[in-house]
Amino acid sequence: MKWQELGDEACPVARAMSVVGDRWTLLLLRDCFRGVRRFEAFQERLGITRHVLADRLRKLVEAGVLTREPYQDRPPRYEYRLTETGRAFHPVLVTLMAWGEAAVPGGSDAPLRLVSRQTGAPVRPLLVDEATGEPITPANVRATR
């Protein structure tokens, strides 16, 4: 299957991967949630080529994950902001971060932790069913059509 064909798949995981399925896109979204908005800042933080960065930003705008808004007229400059669809990706990123910290430890820096803005206490993500409040695990759910 070709990469471009994923967006037409019945599987929601395949369709999601057609939008966010490469490392640069995920790292761009991570930085968006950290407040990065401008092309040069993304490039500096990620060390990504201009061509690849422009391509990933364009795809995220086309998918409705980001908006491109002018902040300067001469020369024209734009910043990229998360849309409602983009902000809805936050739980995925938080869960991926927690998984990465537990399953792929490493790095010489102190681990990145989520903390409550109100209390400063550590936050540990837990995926739960909205209707019951029960944790969602492979043991208690299955996918059906």
Distance, in Å, from the CA atom of 75 to the CA atom of 105, rounded to the nearest integer, reads: 43
Q: Are 80 and 60 in contact (CB under 8 A)?
A: yes
Determine the pLDDT at residue 10. 74
pTM, 2 dp:
0.86
Distance, in Å, from the CA atom of 138 to the CA atom of 73, rounded to the nearest integer, reads: 51
Distance, in Å, from the CA atom of 33 to the CA atom of 53, rounded to the nearest integer, reads: 17
Distance, in Å, from the CA atom of 28 to the CA atom of 54, rounded to the nearest integer, reads: 11
Residues ≥6 apart with Cβ < 8 Å to 85: 63, 64, 65
Q: What's the token pair of residue 37?
A: 């908005």
In the chain, what are the domain boundaries?
A: 3-90
Phi/psi of residue 121, each to 5°?
Answer: -75, 150
Determine the pLDDT at residue 5. 66
The contacts found for 95-98 with CB under 8 angstroms, 24 or more apart, are 95/125, 95/127, 96/26, 98/124, 98/125
Determine the pLDDT at residue 100. 87
Determine the pLDDT at residue 4. 59
Determine the pLDDT at residue 113. 82
Q: How many other β-carbons are positioned within 10 Å of the β-carbon of residue 69?
A: 10
Determine the pLDDT at residue 61. 97
Determine the pLDDT at residue 2. 56
> Which class is domain 3-90?
mainly alpha
Distance, in Å, from the CA atom of 25 to the CA atom of 100, rounded to the nearest integer, reads: 17
Per-residue pLDDT of the chain (145 residues; tens, 9 = 90+): 555 566 666 788 888 888 898 999 999 999 999 999 999 999 999 999 999 999 999 999 999 999 999 999 999 999 999 999 999 999 999 999 988 888 887 776 777 788 999 999 998 899 999 999 999 999 999 988 8
Determine the pLDDT at residue 35. 96
